């Protein structure tokens, strides 16, 4: 299984995904690390990315997922995945990939972004993220969790929901 943890910047993707990967005993990959340098500099300068800017990054994330799948590796990867078209690139028909959406209010996320340091994404770009956000729909089968709780509790809830899904797709054999 591969899990993509999505949400706007400041929703807690990195923190929660790292906790989730530790709980699942699998690999963790920070999707922001796959951005081309030009993208990081553009965001650091307070300019939002365009769809064209994001395409090489999204393809790189899809390649990472395909590499894990080819090697039979479990992993958790972060990606804002704000638009459905982005999720179609990185998840598409990859049935072994679960989508987790970290949902939070603009006010809560803004507070968190203002409190963090050493990140390239300025608070001023948060409105642009919410402006393009297309929340996942039921046909994408997302796990949706509110980010208002503690990161450890959120990660445990995601594990609980992933386990419930696995149990539904792999029910135990009937007793003999």
Q: For the chain, how many residues are written?
A: 176
What pLDDT sits at residue 44?
A: 79
What pLDDT sits at residue 125?
A: 67
Q: How confident is the model at residue 90 (pLDDT cuts 50, 70, 90)?
A: very high
Q: Which two tokens stand for residue 15?
A: 């923190």
pTM, 2 dp: 0.86
Q: Is 75 helix (H, G, I), strand (E, B) or coil?
A: strand
What pLDDT sits at residue 116?
A: 57
Higher pLDDT, 34 or 10: 34
**Residues 105 and 118: beta-carbon distance below 8 Å:** no
**Relative orientation angle of helices 37-44 and 51-71, to the nearest 10 degrees:** 130
Where are the domains positioned within the chain?
2-167
CATH of domain 2-167: 3.40.50.300
Asked if residue 110 has pLDDT above 50, the reply is yes
Average pLDDT over residues 47-55: 89
CA distances from 134 to 6, 54, 87, 101, 131 (A): 11, 16, 10, 11, 9
Return mean pLDDT, the chain.
88
């Amino acid at each position: 299984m591969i899990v993509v943890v999505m949400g706007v910047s400041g929703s807690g993707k990195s923190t929660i995904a790292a906790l989730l990967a530790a709980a699942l005993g699998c690999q963790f990959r920070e999707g922001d690390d796959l951005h081309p340098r030009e993208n990081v500099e553009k965001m650091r300068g307070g300019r939002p990315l365009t769809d064209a800017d994001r395409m090489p990054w999204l393809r790189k994330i899809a390649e990472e997922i395909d590499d894990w799948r080819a090697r039979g590796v479990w992993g958790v990867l972060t990606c804002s995945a704000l638009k459905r078209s982005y999720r179609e690139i990185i998840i598409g028909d990859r049935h072994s990939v679960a989508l987790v959406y970290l949902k939070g209010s603009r006010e809560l996320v803004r507070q968190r972004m203002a409190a963090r340091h050493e990140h390239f994404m300025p608070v001023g770009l948060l409105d642009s993220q919410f402006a393009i956000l297309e929340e996942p729909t039921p046909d994408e089968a997302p796990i949706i969790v509110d980010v208002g709780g503690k990161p450890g509790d959120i990660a445990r809830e995601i594990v609980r929901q992933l386990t419930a899904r696995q149990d539904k797709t792999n029910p135990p054999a009937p007793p003999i």
